[in-house]
Amino acid sequence: MKNKVYLYVFDTMADWEIGYLSTEINSGRYYKKGLMPLKIVTVGINKNPITTMGGLEILPEIELKECSIEETVAFILPGGNTWTDAIHTPIIRMAEECLEKGIVVGAICGATIGLAMEGVLNKRAHTSNDLGYLKMVCPSYAGEKYYKQEYAVTDRSL
C-alpha cells in the first residue's frame, strides 16, 4: 500500500523549507475525501542524529537501505549546504529510481544542485536558486535549456 512520503534528513538540512509541506501532509486537511492518510518517514544515510541549519537535532527513523519503493508516494529532498558532497550520491540514486517509476520527487532549493551534479536535470524542466550559480557549482551540468526562471517547476514526477 503506497502511503509513505520519505523525507531525507541530513546535516545542514534547511529545516524551514519543509515546514508547510510537512504540516499539510501530516494534517491531511486538504486531502480529497476518502484518500488514505500519508505518513512522513525521515530517512538518513544512516540512523545517526543529524543537526539542521536551524540547530535542530533529528534522529532519522530509517536509513536509506530500508526505504521501500513499493510504499513510496513521494521522496522529498530539502535544501542544505552539502549537496556537492559525495555522501548524498546514494540519495540521488534513490531519487532517480523514484523518477523512473513515476514517483514524485520534490527537490527544494539546494537539493537541485545534487540532482544537477548527477545529470538528473539534463533532460527535465527544472528551476534552482539561480542558473549562473547552478552552472558554477556543477561544472558537468548540461540542462541549461530546460532551466526555467520560476519559483517552482514540474516535469513529469519531478
pLDDT digits (tens, 9 = 90+) for 2-61: 899 999 999 999 999 999 999 999 999 988 888 888 999 999 999 999 999 999 999 999
C-alpha cell at 128: 534552482
E strands in the chain: 4-8, 39-44, 50-51, 57-58, 62-63, 72-77, 104-107
Q: How confident is the model at residue 1 (pLDDT cuts 50, 70, 90)?
A: confident
DSSP secondary structure code for residue 47 in this structure: S
| pTM of the entire predicted model | 0.95
Phi, psi of 6 (to 5 degrees): -85, 130
The confidence score (pLDDT) of residue 36 equals: 83
pLDDT at 155 over 80: yes
The confidence score (pLDDT) of residue 116 equals: 97
Helix (H) or strand (E) holding 135: helix 131-137
Rounded to whole angstroms, how far apart are CA atoms 10 and 48?
A: 9
Q: Which residues are catalytic?
A: 109
The confidence score (pLDDT) of residue 35 equals: 83
Mean pLDDT (the chain, rounded): 96
